[in-house]
Structure 1
Amino acid sequence: MSKNVDLKRAKILEVAKRRFAHFGMAKTTMAEIAKDLSFSKALLYYYFPDKHNLYMAVMEHVINEMIDKVDIYAQTTDSVENALLFAVESRTATTRENYNLFEYSSSLFMKNPCEVGKNIGPYFNRVRDQYSRLLKIGVDNKEIRVDDLDETAELLLFCLMGMRSGILTKDLNDCLFPSPEEFEHIQSKQIKMVKIFLRGLSV
């Protein structure tokens, strides 16, 4: 793929992300995105055959940005706790900033879990691998002792995911995605969980 094509694709993803995040998936059309880009619809369809395909690419783009942001921060700290708390806070901030984008992914998952899992599933592995790298900061600094970094990172990630699910299932009518008001409550619980988890690993 040429550099020019890469730049055009990146521009499409950024513009589509703003539209999806502001208006949501249902109220956004490919024609509006093409107009924002000053592209013809034909050119937009050349890169992405339909809105669903574009949406999934935007989701991946946002997730990659979030993971990259945490990796950059991890290079500036020698504290495993600071690194993990930054990861939790960044995930919350990214989800809140792109609320309509992520909310649609939850409703899409309810309708077609296999299709969404196929596209978003690898995200879990990437976050687990990142948490493994963050835990290694603590191991290298002799803050914590970990026998298996990948397994421990996976356990921590399951704990954090389960915390969100546990809070949301108090209202069985809306158990997949938090309301804007619930983000702060969930994040505060996740922060406490990270601190408890690290205490259990401390040397």
Structure 2
Amino acid sequence: MLTYRGLISMISSPNILLAGIMFSMACFRNKWSSCPFSCIGLIVKFKRIIFFFCEYKHYFRLYNYNSRMVKNRDADIFLSILDSAKKRFCRYGLKKTTMTEIAGDIGLSKASLYYYFPNKEGLFKEVVSQGHKTLLNEFEGLLSSSVPAEEILQGYLEKRLNYFREFVHLNALNLESINSLKPVYARLFENFRKAEIRLVGEILAKGIATQDFQNLDIAYFSELFIAIFQGLRHDVIIKKDTINITETEYSLLQKQYESALNMFMKGIKK
């Protein structure tokens, strides 16, 4: 038997209370009760309250399901856009890539593409940011390994060189005059450079802690390390009219990397 206290306890829950309000509104419209929230009215029409409550839960579940479906679909489209844009930017650069081409690559209308990214510059920034995040995560993985610091530096340079080859057009943009870049791009590349310097500094600190490296000025040598290899990459780009690295040029750059690393290590090892 439903008691007054039991009824009060049931209607105190948010879901039942909402259902009760919905039911009371229906009662009011249909003149079932002169007092929408009277206990007698609720008891008499309790089955209808449960009916409203069940309907409410059904639609709530349906809404959540549809929301998840929309979010998953949006996430898939978002990743597809980034993948298409990355291929276009890496092959043709920022200036020669159009939003129409990116949308066409994945069967998306231009209007739909603008729903996700209002302009090409914003899309470019996201592609570069994702590339930077991926590379930095790989660097962090190297740093957390138990291999010696010298091998970590070698692994870092291998990954950095592969990234340069894949994103050669983006690296070319990085090396343009800072004044010709929008501030957002300049900050993007500068923040990445600072992150690289920080990670190299942590690698050097690890080598010092294991007594593989001399006690040195970590801030100075980590920035020097980054500047050396950035200069080698710059040298490849600045000599070319079109940014397409041949196998010969890439092999030469690898050798230069190895020679520069050997000279650097001789200067810091005990």
Q: Distance in 2 between matches of 1:156 and 1:57?
A: 27
Q: CA deviation at 1:112?
A: 0.9
2:267 paired with 1:200: yes
SS state of the match for residue 63, structure 1? helix
User: Judging changes above 3 Å, is the alpha-carbon distance between structure 1 residues 167 and 16 closer, same or farther for their aligned structure 2 residues?
Assistant: closer
Corresponding residue for 1:112? 180
Q: Which amino acid aligns with 1:151?
A: Y
Q: Distance in 2 between matches of 1:34 and 1:6?
A: 16
Q: CA deviation at 1:143?
A: 0.6
Q: CA deviation at 1:30?
A: 1.3
User: Judging changes above 3 Å, is the alpha-carbon distance between structure 1 residues 131 and 10 closer, same or farther for their aligned structure 2 residues?
Assistant: farther
Q: Which amino acid aligns with 1:128?
A: I
2:128 paired with 1:59: yes
Corresponding residue for 1:46? 115
Deviations 1:101-144 (A, max 9, x none): 444x2586477146342332111101101111222231232211
Q: CA deviation at 1:161?
A: 2.3
Structure possessing the higher relative contact order (Cα contacts under 8 Å, 6 or more residues apart):
1
TM-score normalized by structure 1?
0.77
Q: Distance in 1 between matches of 2:91 and 2:234?
A: 25
Q: Which amino acid aligns with 2:250?
A: F
SS state of the match for residue 214, structure 2? coil
User: Judging changes above 3 Å, is the alpha-carbon distance between structure 1 residues 86 and 139 closer, same or farther for their aligned structure 2 residues?
Assistant: same
SS state of the match for residue 84, structure 1? helix
**Is the CA contact (8 Å cut-off) linking 1:21 and 1:101 kept in structure 2?**
yes
Alignment counterpart, residue 104 of structure 2, candidates 22, 27, 35: 35
User: Judging changes above 3 Å, is the alpha-carbon distance between structure 1 residues 194 and 48 closer, same or farther for their aligned structure 2 residues?
Assistant: same
Q: Mark the runs of 5 or more structure 2 residues left unpaired by the alignment.
A: 1-67
CA RMSD of aligned residues (A): 3.2
Deviations 1:133-187 (A, max 9, x none): 2222312322113343233211211222234445766x4xx49978434232223
Q: Mark the runs of 5 or more structure 1 residues left unpaired by the alignment.
A: none
Over the matched positions of the two proteins, sequence identity in percent amounts to: 24
